Amino acid sequence: MSLTLREALASLRVVAIPMRTKFRSLDLRETALIKGEYGWGEFAPFIEYSDQESLPWLESAIEATDGPLSAALRESIPINATIPASNDEAEIAEIISWYSGVNTVKIKVGGSIGEDLVRIARVRSHLPKAKIRIDVNGSWSVNEAALNIRTIYGEATGEFLEYVEQPVATLDELKELKSLLLVDVKIAGDEILRKAKDPFAIDLDGAIDVLMLKVSPLGGINRARDLASHHELPVVVSSALESAVGISYGLALAARLPKLDYACGLGTSALFAQDISDIPISDGVIRATNYPIDLDRLERYEMRGERLEWWRNRITRVWNLRRPA
């Protein structure tokens, strides 16, 4: 039986989870959980997202509640540490300490190149052997990207740089950058896929080398897997800063991909002061399993009243955008 809107709303719980460190300028991550026959699903579009952009997020939540998972192909998922856009030395050291045994670090950049270089150097001073990936969130122009990537890569010392994620915003810019790049650095695409009107319709040939796969914004495990095979690119499964429910679903995706060559960005639970379930990181990996909700914590972080009403209305509006099955 497929979940109905009534059942989704009857099961709805809204939580606001305090962040341990600011990320995306957030102190609190507000998100919604719905429950169906097969357990919880997470509906986690950021507050400012439109109803239309939130639709795949809802499909992902519904899919999670609605059917059994296929057999997993692997048990443990290697992960990267995630460093927000901060140059606070103590904060960087502390965040790295949350990621036990991790040898890949994703660093948010794209402010001033001077500060970006300092941030990268600080991370490397703690983890000199780590692979570094930087995420620009599309904020550079093509020329800035070509110059900045070369600067970060340095003089023949760039082997540490695993890839640059979404250095520029559009498909044309990504293609142009590829033709200008003087150094051998892989380019990963994130927004180019998850913000596309139809992520199957874009031609990523000659634009990117690695695809970011995020289960919620891409509409669930089945669609994300289809997108990976459609685009025939190596993938990195990453979170959209979901709670343990959404992370469990991302881990389920990572465990079900035929190939997984890169560490995944699924360790973002460490950025919360306390998640609604503990997701331990050891030796740089997370076990791909369902992390059941701690009900005491769910109550501790639960929002009622106006926030619950807001999410009820949002889910109802987005549900009504679904195409009839």
Give the residue numbers annotated as catalytic, written as ranges: 108, 214
Cβ of residue 264: shortest distance to Mg ion, in angstroms? 13
What residues does 316 pair with on adjacent strands?
A: none
Q: What would you report as the CA-atom Rg of the chain, rounded to the nearest whole angstrom?
A: 19
Neighbours of 25 (CB within 10 A): 8
* Of residues 18-77, those binding Mg ion (CB under 5 A): none
Task: Give whichever of 24 and 230 is closer to Mg ion, judged by the CB atom.
Answer: 24
Non-local (6+) Cβ contacts of 324 within 8 A are: none
Farthest CA pair distance, the chain: 60
Q: Does 162 help bind Mg ion (rule: CB under 5 A)?
A: no
Which pair of tokens denotes residue 72?
């997993």
Q: Which stretch binds Mg ion (CB under 5 A): 38-46, 53-61, 131-139, 296-304?
A: 131-139
242 binds Mg ion (CB under 5 A): no
Instruction: Work out how close the CB of 180 gets to Mg ion at its nearest, in angstroms, rounded to a whole number.
Output: 21
3 has which bridge partners? Answer: none
CA 211 to CA 233: how far, in whole Å?
Answer: 6
Residue placing its CB nearer to Mg ion in the complex, 31 or 82? 82
Q: How far is the CB of 214 from Mg ion (least distance, A)?
A: 8
By CB under 5 A, tell whether 190 contacts Mg ion: yes
Q: Residue 190 or residue 275: which is nearer to Mg ion going by CB?
A: 190
CB of residue 4 to Mg ion, shortest distance in Å: 34
User: Are 55 and 43 within 8 A, CB to CB?
Assistant: no
Q: Which stretch binds Mg ion (CB under 5 A): 186-194, 247-255, 277-285, 300-308?
A: 186-194
Contact (Cβ atoms closer than 8 angstroms) between residue 31 and residue 42: yes
N- to C-terminal Cα separation, the chain:
13
Q: Cβ closer to Mg ion: 134 or 276? A: 134
SS3 category, 59:
helix
Interface residue with Mg ion among 59, 116, 135, 242 (CB under 5 A) is 135
Closest distance of CB 166 from Mg ion, Å: 6
Which residues sit at the interface with Mg ion, rule CB under 5 A? 135, 190
